[in-house]
Amino acid sequence: MAKGTDRHTELGLKEEDLIEMYRFMLTARYCDERQWGLNRQGKAPFVVPVSGHEAAQVGSAWAFERGKDVFCPYYRDLALALVAGFTPKDVFLGLFGKKDDPSSGGRQMPAHWGAKDRNIITGSSPIATQCLHAAGIALSKKLKRSDAVVGTWCGEGGTSEGDWHGAMNFAGIHKLPLVLVVENNQYAISVHVSKQVAGSVHGRAQGYGMPGAVGDGNDVLEAYKLTKEAVDRARAGEGASLVELLTYRHYSHTSDDDDRTYRKKEEVEEWKAKDPIPRFEAYLRSVEMIDDARIQEMRDETKTTVDEQAAQAEEADFPDPTTAYDNVYAERVEVR
Amino acid sequence: MAKGTDRHTELGLKEEDLIEMYRFMLTARYCDERQWGLNRQGKAPFVVPVSGHEAAQVGSAWAFERGKDVFCPYYRDLALALVAGFTPKDVFLGLFGKKDDPSSGGRQMPAHWGAKDRNIITGSSPIATQCLHAAGIALSKKLKRSDAVVGTWCGEGGTSEGDWHGAMNFAGIHKLPLVLVVENNQYAISVHVSKQVAGSVHGRAQGYGMPGAVGDGNDVLEAYKLTKEAVDRARAGEGASLVELLTYRHYSHTSDDDDRTYRKKEEVEEWKAKDPIPRFEAYLRSVEMIDDARIQEMRDETKTTVDEQAAQAEEADFPDPTTAYDNVYAERVEVR
Amino acid sequence: MPETNGPTTEKNMVQAIHDTLFEEMKRDDRVIVLGEDVGARGGVFRVTMGFLDEFGEDRVIDTPLDEALIAGVGIGLAIDGMIPVAEMQFADFSFPAFNQITQEAARIRYRSNGDFTVPMVIRAPYGGGVHGALYHSQSVEALYAHVPGLKVVVPSTPYDAKGMLIQALEDPDPVIYLEHKKTYRLVKGEVPDERYTVPFGKAEIRRPGRDLTVVSYGLMHHFCLEAAERLAGDGIEVEVIDLRSIFPLDTETVLESVARTSKAMIVYEDNKFLGVGAEVAAQIAEHAMFELDAPIKRIAGPHVPAMPYAPTLEHWFMPNVDTLEQEMRKLADY
Amino acid sequence: MPETNGPTTEKNMVQAIHDTLFEEMKRDDRVIVLGEDVGARGGVFRVTMGFLDEFGEDRVIDTPLDEALIAGVGIGLAIDGMIPVAEMQFADFSFPAFNQITQEAARIRYRSNGDFTVPMVIRAPYGGGVHGALYHSQSVEALYAHVPGLKVVVPSTPYDAKGMLIQALEDPDPVIYLEHKKTYRLVKGEVPDERYTVPFGKAEIRRPGRDLTVVSYGLMHHFCLEAAERLAGDGIEVEVIDLRSIFPLDTETVLESVARTSKAMIVYEDNKFLGVGAEVAAQIAEHAMFELDAPIKRIAGPHVPAMPYAPTLEHWFMPNVDTLEQEMRKLADY
Ligand SMILES: Cc1ncc(C[n+]2csc(CCOP(=O)(O)OP(=O)(O)O)c2C)c(N)n1
Ligand SMILES: Cc1ncc(C[n+]2csc(CCOP(=O)(O)OP(=O)(O)O)c2C)c(N)n1
Ligand SMILES: [Mg+2]
Ligand SMILES: [Mg+2]
């Protein structure tokens, strides 16, 4: 391929970008493997896997400007959290529920990302509530004449909640600087998208007066491209967009789930063959950014880092029960 | 116009239909005038006006099969309630909160229509909740292999609630025998549709995998036509549809409102010029079903009936306070 | 009432709330109102009348008809540094937003261990006696006061309406600010022109007495005062406490009063079962039982789903001054 | 426990609920389950395992992720003659449906003056101690029990789980049927094979005693029994009452017990303030105060927004058997 006509060059991405994106995808994957391992060892009671979603998350997150833009993710977004500034150690502090977990100091379940200094807004378990917060923050940015853009992520299951509808509607009415990304992995726990979404997710956008794109969420460059267009639109004051990224999760919904009750092995295998990581590696090879040796090197490096940081997190302290009353309110309120 | 090419004949409507439809529209209008009068006299503390919506309601309701199909209306639907079997006396029993009010025995505010023997499902004040009940009833009909169709009505404001979104989604997924009618009068109390609905109401349908029609809600034949197509589809097992009827209310939102704070006089006048009743009269004249004398006669008859029945209702008894505990549960539960 | 030396103006509740919010918006750009019909219509009770003209569409936001949206967007605004005043058109219609209010607004500080906060005020007209029937009459204070992370207040005088609204705006946490609809125009009082706050968690003894402690709030508080006046003619001195703040609850003032009078009655309009009076009674039973000379008495709404519309039934539902007078007399005579 | 002469089988809570629902669906075509993951997945706690195969997609409905929809569609089904069993995957996630449950299901009979009814069961796993953190641990019984028109029950034994589920299915009104997650596999017991009902509004004295009345339900009830056993070694006889039915509440059994023991403690896992114990305490204070020799004691969850995740914090939140033992001893010694 001639220099300058590469897909990534057309998208304005440089070699450093691609290598960094690749490293984030690898890091997410190794975090996932490590957390599953810890779960099997009985050391982590609850795990939310990300594997399969790395391209969708890293690609979409990369379209935002870190330090300025705002992230309202959902629990699946481990890779996104890394891009937004979580270290693997942060991830594992959350996994174990340790005191220094940046999201909640061990108060929330793992994978409830949040950190003010990284512009990741605290998330909860009830699905899709963050979409309305994102709309509110986007309104605030607009009122302040800031050019920050807000992104919010959820699964295709999340689109069923009224909160998602409200966020779409409000974003459409006020042309908010908001990008709603839907990681459509075709299942909400066990419920197939055909029982979840009438019509289609991206097909909803038009009815709310905004563009709706859909694309291959296992192709990190496509995820980037579609989201970047939406972010640019938002930043230019042209309003909100919806981006649907088609993907698949490799494992069960969480460590409490068993996907064999509702997904055929063949289907899982078929999708694992579309694994976003080897696909990106193939691209990186094709543009001669890395070779097999470098891939192996980066894999080893990343794995080592993850394992080391997981071990550090494991040794960290649990929160002191005397702090359990803190931050119910700004000031302590006694109930007799 | 040659016989057989009349708009109504093409729609399969007979002369009797049209005359009855006209009478319902007149009755609704006179009920409205009477209830406003009673409000001004201090005899009815709360009134929900219907004027302006008569064509949308009578036309859409006419598409259903009374005695078999199910109505889940909203408070504005006085004319629809008449078609479904309410007498003017019933309307006024509800207005005054009398014991024999068929909707609630005087428990609910006026205009909260409901009567099991008329297949009108009890409605509440919280907006759009009935859309989900309608979806549930439609599912029940489908499971029972009944060919009954369910209709539900709300304003364009109602489409903003999560319940409407849920009903659309579920109806689309399960191809329910459901017709969702939206009476878009451009205002939700004072909020203009431009601040209420991003995109458009009918434009939402496609995203839920169902057809969405939009039409002139002040033309009773058009309201009938669009709804009838949807009802036929539903009855044929082809699933749900959305029908948006554009209309306008002539008066304030309710007797507690003052529309002069948010609607220009010119706009109101412009829409009053499109009053559905004279328009239907013009049609009836054009097909030579009625002449001016007959119009005057029917107006007088209807007005007299309404006034008489309103007077009867006024004389009826209020509910006895000893009944206030009835029907909290099937059996009385004492709380000490 | 704390002393204030400056000039005062007589206002009803709506005026007090309107004027305070107006002044606070002038004072602080971050304050924004959002809700259904808060714009051109000025709110269905006229609380935000004239706001749109003064502050413009950016700060007076007519939302779609979606209460979850109102609360959720409010939370987003608050997280990003605004001070949203979200209006629920009627407290009854706050329930589509129940999830956003109780699981999000209430917990964001706790779940982020203090990283994020939601300084938001949710205003809602509540209560009955206004021909509002089942869905425009409800009392919702007990439901929200049960939820840690929320503060719930019910001013019952124009003075408190102002001071508590400013307090709510200054409060770094979400506050449910409930306005009894029936008091809007009924209750009038002098309101200082100067700016002041009324702290949360402090009940007010509005009428001192030695024979009986009566705890209430909102409209019922005014009924209680009226009934107490009647008894005063017969030499029965009722101490009438206005809770004002449902959470935090001023247990101290209640217990201390009960210790003096030895008799306690709690009056509330909400359904009795698990209403606010249950908690007040439980607190007394836990901490002051041996001070009591008579069983605790609760007077509250019957266990039916809110107030029916027909005047006969609405009258039946609402505790009224005659009943309160009788019940107070009975308890005093115990 | 009522006598039953027929054969019994030992089951845990999940099995009892699973088997009962399965049998009832075989018995009555009108019974339908709907909720998230109730189909192929058999529910996240396996309560509807195998149902899809047996009853097919028409009667085992995987809904979209929208709790308002689950409740609202359930209401429609009930209105049209079905008997829906709507599952809220976790009680914590019933709040998006709060409006449909409290304003619709609860009021349809009342507001239509008996014309329409909602014979629906809403099942929800609730409660903590399962590493569920803030959003998978909550107790919601007080919120729903406050709402007239709803019945709220919490079986704590497999026997009651069966009898109360059948009762709920036969009940002509909406029933919130709460299942403590921690008891699902922990609590086992003999369950008669035959069909029977356990009536609502009847508490059960599971352990008679003369020194102290302890009222609880759900998981806490088991903790209370354990603590009571410990005290029995020291000759302190605690009467332990399982409320089972939160609304209707069996005030009689509680008052009658308190009249015998003269001391009352209420134990619940929910946040203390305005939790179920507030109402129980208030009832005692109103109707049995002079029977008491000691102040009423409530032991409940602290005023923080549900249970944190870290084991140290979760442990801190939950009332435990040691604490209960100490508090019972203190009260007995009072
Ligand atoms: C309000 C609410 N209801 C139910 C749940 C339980 N729940 C957690 S994740 C989930 C499925 C979400 O699916 P989707 O949105 O597609 O995201 P995915 O997990 O597939 O990435 C459900 C039902 C919840 N967390 N919140
Ligand atoms: C959940 C809820 N929120 C707010 C209200 C107050 N309210 C009553 S009618 C109405 C406007 C409805 O507008 P629309 O749906 O367009 O119907 P229209 O009155 O125009 O026919 C509002 C906000 C309500 N009844 N329920
Ligand atoms: Mg999914
Ligand atoms: Mg409208």
Question: Which member of D77, D116, D149 has the closest CB to residue B136?
Answer: D77
Instruction: Determine how β-strand B70-72 pairs with β-strand D245-247.
Output: unpaired
Domain assignment present for B324 = no
Domain assignment present for A106 = yes
Is residue B3 predicted with pLDDT exceeding 70?
A: no
The alpha carbon of C190 is separated from its chain's Cα centroid by a whole number of angstroms, namely 19
Is residue A1 predicted with pLDDT exceeding 50?
A: no
> How far apart are the CA of B230 and the centre of ligand 4, in A?
22
Residue A195 with chain B: CB contacts under 8 Å: 173
CA–CA separation, B8 vs B1, rounded Å? 12
Q: Is the CB of C36 under 6 A from ligand 2?
A: yes
Is residue D2 predicted with pLDDT exceeding 60?
A: no
Q: Spot the catalytic one: B23, B107, B250, B262.
A: B262
Is the pTM higher than 0.90? The answer reads yes
Q: CATH no. for residue A253?
A: 3.40.50.970
Residues C93-129 as b/e (b if ≥16 CB within 10 A, e otherwise) read bbbbbbbbbbbbbbbbbbbbbebbbbbbbbbbbbbbb
Q: Where are the beta strands (DSSP E) in chain C?
A: 8-12, 31-35, 60-62, 83-87, 121-126, 151-153, 175-180, 188-192, 204-207, 212-216, 238-242, 245-247, 264-271, 297-301
Task: Check CB contact of D146 with chain C, cutoff 8 Å.
Answer: yes
With beta carbons less than 8 A apart as the criterion, state whether C285 and C298 touch: no
- Render pLDDT for A99-152 as a digit per residue (tens, 0 to 9): 999 999 999 999 999 999 999 999 999 999 999 999 999 999 999 999 999 999
**Amino acid code (one letter) for B77:** D
> How far apart are the CA of C309 and the centre of ligand 2, in A?
19
Residues B134-157 as b/e (b if ≥16 CB within 10 A, e otherwise) read bbbbbbbbbbeeeebbbbbbbbbb
Say what the pLDDT of residue C5 is: 80
Question: Which member of C37, C65, C131 has the closest CB to residue B160?
Answer: C65
Q: Residue written as tokens 């709220």?
A: D152
Ramachandran class of B186: left when φ > 0, alpha when ψ lies in -120 to 50, beta otherwise: left
Nearest chain A Cα distance for residue C29, angstroms = 11
| Surface-to-core class of residue A188, CB atoms within 10 Å of its CB (0-12 exposed, 13-18 middle, 19+ buried) | buried
Q: What average pLDDT does the segment D283-288 reach?
A: 97
Residue D173 with chain B: CB contacts under 8 Å: 329-330
Question: Quick one: closest CA in C to D287, which residue?
Answer: C295
- Residue C179, classed as helix, strand or coil, is strand
Q: Is the CB of C200 under 6 A from ligand 2?
A: no
Query: Which of B118, B124, B27 is closest to B79 using CA atoms?
Result: B27
Quote the tokens at residue B172: 């689309």
Question: Which member of B162, B170, B204 has the closest CB to residue A163?
Answer: B162
Question: Which member of C99, C149, C285 has the closest CB to residue D305?
Answer: C149
Q: Identify the segments of chain C with pLDDT beneath 70.
A: 1-4
Say what the pLDDT of residue A5 is: 76
> How far apart are the CA of D136 and the centre of ligand 1, in A?
13
> How far apart are the CA of A189 and the centre of ligand 1, in A?
7
Handedness of CA A226, A228, A232, A235 (dihedral sign): positive
Q: What average pLDDT does the segment D108-125 reach?
A: 98
CA–CA separation, C116 vs C133, rounded Å? 39
> Mind giving me the DSSP string for C200-246?
TT--EEEE--SSEEEEE-HHHHHHHHHHHHHHHTTT--EEEEE--EE
Task: Check CB contact of D199 with chain C, cutoff 8 Å.
Answer: no
How many domains, in total, are found in chain A? 1
ipTM of the complex: 0.98
Domain assignment present for B320 = no
Is residue A4 predicted with pLDDT exceeding 90?
A: no
Q: Is the CB of C65 under 6 A from ligand 2?
A: yes
- Render pLDDT for D85-108 as a digit per residue (tens, 0 to 9): 999 999 999 999 999 999 999 999
Domain assignment present for B332 = no
Question: Which member of D40, D136, D316 has the closest CB to residue A261?
Answer: D40
Query: Which of A173, A191, A200 has the highest number of chain B CBs within 10 A, making it the mutation to test binding with B?
Result: A173
CA dihedral B73, B77, B82, B85 (to 10 degrees): 10
Say what the pLDDT of residue A336 is: 85
Distances (CA, A) of D136 to A265, D91, D126, D219: 30, 8, 7, 15
CA–CA separation, D164 vs B58, rounded Å? 47
Residue to mutate, A189, A197, A245, A246, ligand 1, most ligand atoms under 8 Å from C-beta = A189
Nearest chain A Cα distance for residue D109, angstroms = 26
With beta carbons less than 8 A apart as the criterion, state whether D44 and A256 touch: yes
> How far apart are the CA of D86 and the centre of ligand 1, in A?
17
Say what the pLDDT of residue B5 is: 76
> How far apart are the CA of B156 and the centre of ligand 2, in A?
9
Q: How many CB atoms lie within 10 A of CB C144?
A: 25
Say what the pLDDT of residue D1 is: 52
Residues D105-125 as b/e (b if ≥16 CB within 10 A, e otherwise) read bbbbbbbbbebbbbbbbbbbb
Q: D64 and A157: CB-CB below 8 Å?
A: yes
Strand B241-246's sheet: what is its strand order? B70-72, B150-155, B178-184, B241-246, B212-216
Is residue A285 predicted with pLDDT exceeding 50?
A: yes
List, by residue number, the catalytic residues of A. Answer: 249, 253, 262
Return all residues near D238 (Cβ < 8 A) that are at least 6 apart.
D207, D209, D211, D212, D213, D214, D224, D227, D228, D231, D232, D328, D332
Say what the pLDDT of residue D4 is: 66
Query: Which of A203, A221, B313, D153 is closest to C310 using CA atoms?
Result: B313
Question: Quick one: closest CA in A to C34, which residue?
Answer: A136
Quote the tokens at residue A257: 């789930």
Say what the pLDDT of residue C306 is: 85
Q: What average pLDDT does the segment B159-176 reach?
A: 98
Taking an 8 Å Cβ-Cβ cutoff, which residues of chain C contact chain B? 36-37, 39-42, 44, 62-66, 68-69, 92-93, 95-96, 131-136, 272-273, 302-305, 308-313, 315-317
Question: Quick one: closest CA in C to D92, which residue?
Answer: C103
Mean pLDDT of chain B: 97
Quote the tokens at residue A83: 């891009």
Query: Which of A74, A104, A140 has the highest number of chain C CBs within 10 A, making it the mutation to test binding with C?
Result: A140
Which domain covers residue B137, as residue numbers? 7-315
Task: Check CB contact of D64 with chain C, cutoff 8 Å.
Answer: no
The share of chain A scoring above pLDDT 70, in percent, equals 99
Residue D70 has φ and ψ, to the nearest 5°, of -60, -50
For the question of residue B74 being annotated catalytic, the response is: no
Query: Which of A77, A289, A90 is closest to A182 using CA atoms?
Result: A77
Q: Is the CB of A110 under 6 A from ligand 1?
A: no
Say what the pLDDT of residue B1 is: 47
Task: Check CB contact of B206 with chain A, cutoff 8 Å.
Answer: yes
Query: Which of D226, D192, D198, D240 is closest to D10 using CA atoms?
Result: D192
Q: Is the CB of C217 under 6 A from ligand 2?
A: no
CA–CA separation, D2 vs C200, rounded Å? 51
Question: Quick one: closest CA in D to A99, which residue?
Answer: D310
- Residue C10, classed as helix, strand or coil, is strand
Task: Check CB contact of B195 with chain C, cutoff 8 Å.
Answer: yes
Ligand nearest to the CA of B186: 4
Q: D276 and C274: CB-CB below 8 Å?
A: yes
With beta carbons less than 8 A apart as the criterion, state whether C216 and C310 touch: no
Is residue A17 predicted with pLDDT exceeding 50?
A: yes
Quote the tokens at residue B243: 């029908």
List chains adjacent to chain C, taking adjacency as at least 3 C-beta pairs closer than 8 Å: A, B, D
Query: Which of A262, B47, A194, A140 is closest to C29 using CA atoms?
Result: A140
